[in-house]
Chains A and B, each alone.
Chain A
Amino acid sequence: MHLNDIMRIHIPTSLRQYADEKDAVEVAGRTAGEGLANLTAQYPDLRRQLYTDDGKLRAFVNFYLNDEDIRSLQQENTPVKEGDSLSIVPSIAGGVELTIAE
């Protein structure tokens, strides 16, 4: 693993407006957290969408390294190697429970 390892971060449709409409961005980083930090340094408007005010990853946004949820690995410290893909996936849920809007 090297400092210059490059990962590909896939940006969901809903967040591309904050990333120059790009569907994927290549960034350097040894961990998922470093990659995300570099991504949000490049596109600061993305930061508010991915992190809470106290700097934690938002609970409703999932981060998958290749096909694994980083929350089931080492979270932001999950090691990344050259060529890995990190997908940002806001959750998709809902249902009729509670009240229907008029």
Chain B
Amino acid sequence: MLSISQSALDGLRRHGEETYPNECCGVLLGKLEGEERRVSSVARCGNTRSDSPQNRYNIDPKELIRIQRQARERGEDVVGFYHSHPDHAARWSTTDLAEAHWIGCSYVITAIEGGLAGRTCSFALGGTGEEDKCFLDEEIEPFPSAAPPESR
């Protein structure tokens, strides 16, 4: 399951609207708690696929390293990624699976329909390696942004 603060969820959906008709992308930051990923914030990234930004995305590893470094200082970790599907469903594509390599992490997809955010779905990348990796549907459970995790 993916628990995510309401403000982080709103933020990633808004990002997809802002970059429409291109795909947005970013990093989910928080903590891994057993099988659950708990997202406390998101970090926006630039989409380096300037050749085909309306249907492809790529995050610069250097940008991820910078985000990871800053997250570590706040006690957060990378627990997944997000991107948008402009005018397409919030389901993973064969490209999404082929190019997903962070097993155990969440991949969140938001459908952007005519510039407005539609459904947001999350898929956990399961398996043990390239040979048997697969996306598993997972529930998204938003939690109030104002409430610290300890008070839940």
Q: Which of A51-100 contact B (CB under 8 A)?
A: 60-62, 64, 67, 69, 87, 89-100
Cβ B89 vs Cβ A97 within 8 A: no
Cβ A67 vs Cβ B62 within 8 A: yes
Q: Does A12 contact B (CB under 8 A)?
A: yes
Mostly helix, strand, loop or mixed at chain A's interface? mixed
Q: Count residues of B near A (Cβ-Cβ below 8 Å).
A: 44
Q: Which of A67, A93, A98 contacts B58 (CB 8 A)?
A: A93
Q: Does B116 contact A (CB under 8 A)?
A: no
Q: Which residues of B contact A60 (CB under 8 A)?
A: 99, 101
Q: Does A10 contact B (CB under 8 A)?
A: yes
Cβ B99 vs Cβ A91 within 8 A: yes
Cβ A17 vs Cβ B65 within 8 A: no
Q: Which of B32, B65, B96 contacts A13 (CB 8 A)?
A: B32
Enumerate 5 A-B pairs (CB-CB under 8 Å) in ascending A order: A64-B62, A93-B58, A95-B49, A98-B93, A98-B95
